[in-house]
Amino acid sequence: MSDSNLESTSSDFLREAIKQDLKEGRFTKVHTRFPPEPNAYLHIGHAKAVWIDYGIAVDFGGKFNLRFDDTNPLKEDQEFVDGIIEDVRWLGVDWEDRLFFASNYFEQMYDWAVELIKKGKAFVCDLTPEQMGEARGTITSPGTNSPWRDRSVEENLDLFGRMRAAEYPDGAKTLRAKIDMSSPNIHMRDPVMYRIRHAEHHTQGNKWCIYPSYDWAHGLEDSIEGVTHSLCSLEYEIHRPLYDWFLDELGIYHPRQIEFGRLNMTFTVMSKRKFIELVEGKHVRGYDDPRLPTLAGLRRRGVTPEAIKEFCRRIGVSKNDSAIDPVHFEECIREDLNKTAQRVMAVSSPLKVVLTNYPEGEIEYMEANNNPEDPEAGTRKVPFGKVLYIEKDDFREVPPPKYYRLSPGKEVRLRNAYFITCNEVIKDENGEVLELHCTYDPQTRGGDAPDGRKVKATMHWVAAETALKAEVRLYEYLFSKADPDDVEEGKDYTSNLNPDSLKIIEAFVEPSVKDAKPGTRYQFERQGYFCVDKDSNETSLVFNRTVTLRDSWAKIEKAQTK
RNA sequence: UGCCGGAUAGCUCAAUUGGCAGAGCGGCUGACUCUGGAUCAGCAGGUUCAAGGUUCGAGCCCUUGUCCGGCAGCCA
């Protein structure tokens, strides 16, 4: 909890508000919480929320709770509790011993509901969901009072007790707050506090058949935990008057809710419903598909928690609706992986090279830097031989202007090895290049020429004899439109799915990666960052491309073809 | 036609209680390099949504308007 502090953190409207609260004595400490509902896997948008909540607690020397907002047994499941805990822990967030469940407060919430009934501020309502909907009015017209609104306190107490005692079926009755059916804020029109649900709860079992609604429960949870600042997304702004109303009527400790804009990203989707549809529609391979912005997907793809944290820091926080271009995220991933990922050579589209003057059958081991950015990373030995593979794209029979790589008669450097010169291009009957015959200069071992001559390009390679075959999964944006929901009449976002979001190729990789465990991250030099997939095993290697390297050559080439 | 928000550089955000509109990313140019990567340096980029008002002074306060988002689950 030391990597962030007040001085080094740029401020934002949330931190300013909190500073003000502290200054004015509204609160004397800072205590935040992250309150996910365990009904889905977390995505990068949640990561932003986590880093706002946790980051603020750290910055102000306060505390942070992880709390499951598990008030709806129909949607929630232990599976998601476990997944969310794993994800939040993976992000590097420390909630110490403060892992809580809203469901542990049900008894207290019940008592408070009884209190509100006694105050004449809540009543049992027999309206059906349909009737209640009609009586609510509309966005521009007031609602009408429930016929059950004026039941006596005694009757309400009795009925509410019977609700709890399982005397009624689902939906037969609700407990509602008695506020104002003509309020311009629909959420203040006698909102439901309890509904009947004969369903098993993942922590409570069958103890309860009435469950508190979000609006009733959330402020109470915050209050019980001594949270000072209940930070949530913009959609809850309109709920704040209700949040305040319950706390004020109860006269209990009153945290402050402040809302911020949630994270959206272009070229992807960020909703539980769509994740489910994409998985069930087989558009992706699961919730941890590396193309999904779920934390499980990002983790599998090879993204580091540090990159996510830095991304969240850079995008900041405001009350704007915004959609971030994924290039900003990719930049954060590169920045972190550049510092930490071991370099390795891999050829994804092989072209055979035969060194005609290299001794037949000989293999020598070239010393290679594991990470030029990190001297501590050490070196490794990479086998070199007479027959090599280079990248197809690193050879052009007719080089375009400013093409510095290999072409007939040109000399280039093979990384960590020798200079080679291309002498002969072997083709098949169709004119397709089959292989290159080159010579190497033994004087240039290690990469420098004793006579001081320079080459413009350095290329990666693997020795044919010792190369490992690997499946490499190349990912692109899941959607081909910045806004996947931008569709023609009658179509939905799935029509914007990018057909090329996953491309599987076979590559040759240097043998040092042989026993790499799933999750291990590498930089394939000059190509990008890759991560060993969980499908990988002793007999077949599988890599995911996390992100490509920044490619300035691609830019130059594009500019030239214009 | 209701209520609650929002609008500052291409993108995301800043701008002490009203006081010279800045940063990161992106773009462009150059340097350097055993990754055409990384790194470094420089440059360009703005009618702060519009119109009015208050003020010595407005991105900030007031009024009106425009555009965008959210809100009518017994979801959260």
How does pLDDT run across A134-171, given as a tens digit for each residue?
999 999 999 999 999 999 999 999 999 999 999 999 99
* pLDDT for res A556: 66
A112 pLDDT more than 70: yes
**A236 and A381, same domain (yes or no):** no
Banded model confidence at residue A6, pLDDT cuts 50, 70, 90: very low
**A255 and A347, same domain (yes or no):** no
- Separation of A332 CA and B25 C1' (Å): 10
> Known catalytic residues of A?
37, 262, 272
A4 pLDDT more than 50: no
- Separation of A5 CA and B15 C1' (Å): 21
- Separation of A12 CA and B14 C1' (Å): 8
The CATH number that applies at residue A207 is 3.40.50.620
- Considering only CA atoms, which residue is closest to the C1' of nucleotide B16? A16
**A450 and A359, same domain (yes or no):** yes
The CA-atom distances, in angstroms, between A370 and each of A179, A381, A510, A524, A550 are 67, 10, 13, 11, 20
Q: What is the DSSP string of A289-333?
A: -TTS-BHHHHHHHT--HHHHHHHHHHH---SS---B-HHHHHHHH
User: Rounded mean pLDDT of A116-123?
Assistant: 98
By C1' distance from the Cα of A403, the closest nucleotide is B36
**Structural domain contains residue A538:** no
Banded model confidence at residue A375, pLDDT cuts 50, 70, 90: confident
By C1' distance from the Cα of A373, the closest nucleotide is B38
Banded model confidence at residue A5, pLDDT cuts 50, 70, 90: very low
**A24 and A169, same domain (yes or no):** yes
* A469 CB burial (10 A radius; 0-12, 13-18, 19+): exposed
Higher pLDDT, A555 or A236: A236
- Separation of A555 CA and B29 C1' (Å): 15
* pLDDT for res A452: 87
Closest CA to A110 of A165, A153, A34: A165
Q: Of A467, A485, A511, which residue is a domain's last? A: A467
By C1' distance from the Cα of A216, the closest nucleotide is B76
Tokens representing A363 are: 């293999």
Alpha-carbon span A285 to A217, nearest angstrom: 36
A557 pLDDT more than 80: no
Q: Write out the residue range of the structural domain in which residue A247 sits.
A: 13-260
By C1' distance from the Cα of A191, the closest nucleotide is B74
**A253 and A391, same domain (yes or no):** no
User: Helix axis angle, A305-315 relative to A78-91, nearest 10°?
Assistant: 80
* pLDDT for res A552: 74
The CATH number that applies at residue A351 is 2.40.240.10
- Separation of A24 CA and B17 C1' (Å): 14
**Structural domain contains residue A377:** yes
**A82 and A201, same domain (yes or no):** yes
- Separation of A167 CA and B3 C1' (Å): 38
A449 pLDDT more than 70: yes
**A254 and A393, same domain (yes or no):** no
**A58 and A193, same domain (yes or no):** yes
- Considering only CA atoms, which residue is closest to the C1' of nucleotide B7? A320
DSSP code of residue A80:
H
**Structural domain contains residue A394:** yes
**Structural domain contains residue A386:** yes
**Structural domain contains residue A404:** yes
- Separation of A205 CA and B62 C1' (Å): 57
Mean pLDDT of all residues belonging to chain A:
93
Alpha-carbon span A14 to A260, nearest angstrom: 8
Banded model confidence at residue A486, pLDDT cuts 50, 70, 90: confident
User: Rounded mean pLDDT of A114-128?
Assistant: 98
User: Rounded mean pLDDT of A313-327?
Assistant: 90
Angle formed at CA A252 by CA A251 and CA A257, multiple of 5 degrees: 105
Banded model confidence at residue A488, pLDDT cuts 50, 70, 90: confident
Question: What is the percent of chain A with per-residue pLDDT over 90, rounded to a whole number?
Answer: 86
- Separation of A499 CA and B13 C1' (Å): 34
A555 pLDDT more than 80: no
Work out how many domains chain A is built from and give that number. Answer: 2
DSSP code of residue A205:
B
Which stretches of A92-225 are assigned E, i.e. beta strand? Answer: 99-101, 122-125, 174-177, 192-196, 210-212
Beta bridge partners of A439: A421
**Structural domain contains residue A361:** yes
Closest CA to A437 of A512, A374, A327, A355: A355
Q: Of A225, A260, A295, which residue is a domain's last? A: A260
**Structural domain contains residue A488:** no
**A148 and A250, same domain (yes or no):** yes
**Chain B nucleotides near the protein (CB, 7 A):** 1-8, 11-15, 17, 24-28, 34-39, 68-76
A8 pLDDT more than 60: no
Look at strands A122-125 and A363-369 and give their pairing: unpaired
User: Rounded mean pLDDT of A480-489?
Assistant: 87
What's the ipTM? 0.94
- Considering only CA atoms, which residue is closest to the C1' of nucleotide B39? A373
**A238 and A354, same domain (yes or no):** no
A1 pLDDT more than 70: no
The CA-atom distances, in angstroms, between A9 and each of A56, A58, A98, A336, A456 are 10, 11, 25, 19, 43
Asked if A377 contacts A370 with a C-beta cutoff of 8 angstroms, the reply is yes
* pLDDT for res A203: 97
* pLDDT for res A489: 79
- Considering only CA atoms, which residue is closest to the C1' of nucleotide B4? A238
**Structural domain contains residue A492:** no
Tokens representing A317 are: 């926080």
- Separation of A328 CA and B26 C1' (Å): 9
Asked if A65 contacts A226 with a C-beta cutoff of 8 angstroms, the reply is no
* pLDDT for res A20: 86
Asked if A342 contacts A370 with a C-beta cutoff of 8 angstroms, the reply is yes
By C1' distance from the Cα of A241, the closest nucleotide is B4
- Separation of A561 CA and B61 C1' (Å): 54
User: Rounded mean pLDDT of A291-306?
Assistant: 97
DSSP tally for chain A: helices H, then strands E: 13, 25
pLDDT digits (tens, 9 = 90+) for A385-424: 999 999 999 999 998 877 889 999 999 999 999 999 999 9
Q: Of A434, A467, A500, which residue is a domain's last? A: A467
**A141 and A255, same domain (yes or no):** yes
Tokens representing A85 are: 């805990």
* pLDDT for res A561: 55
